[in-house]
Amino acid sequence: MTRIWKETGFIEGDRWIIETDEIKAEGQQRPYLSIDQLIEQADATNEVGFGVLIKPADDVARLELYLDRLALVAVLFPAFSDGRGFSHASLLRERLGYTGELRAVGDVLIDHVPLMLRCGFDSFAVSNATALKRLAENRLPGIDVHYQPTARAARDGETYSWRRRSA
């Protein structure tokens, strides 16, 4: 069972779905589009409120012209050891200026959630039993000291005068 979690708790009634050959969106459900499908549909209509699924090998820069038309960007983590989704999140938040909902989907483990939050994710599609239990108990692992800048500022606005971010 997959549940959607945000820092405020679990969300009920989420309408976004990853379509497969066996699973199709029904009723109020909305499918995530691939980048190619998004561009095709967005160029053909004036519609807004799209959801897009970013896969590890995708080029997120292709979304730049369509960011204001997106309701949700889901980033796929096909395996816990594949960290390309962290880079996608950083690019979307810091370089492209995406301010909408950014969701981690796939192999989302409890140990990664604090790091994902720092990269700019704000919702998580979680199916791992341990992660679901720990999130329900509000028991996130802590990372108190951060060395590198990210989309989310360090606690208490800590900064380092010697640290610079290149433009």
Q: Which domain holds residue 75?
A: 3-141
What's the total number of domains in the chain? 1
Enter the pTM of the model. 0.84
Answer yes or no: is pLDDT of 166 > 50: no
Q: Is residue 148 part of a domain?
A: no
CATH number at residue 34: 3.20.20.70
The predicted model gives 126-131 an average pLDDT of 94
* φ and ψ at residue 90, rounded to 5 degrees: -60, -45
The predicted model gives 78-94 an average pLDDT of 93
Strand ranges (DSSP E) for the chain? 3-6, 9-11, 16-17, 30-31, 50-54, 70-77, 101-106, 123-126
Q: Please give the order of strands across the beta sheet that includes 50-54.
A: 9-11, 3-6, 123-126, 101-106, 70-77, 50-54
**How confident is the model at residue 27, as a pLDDT?**
87
The predicted model gives 121-139 an average pLDDT of 94
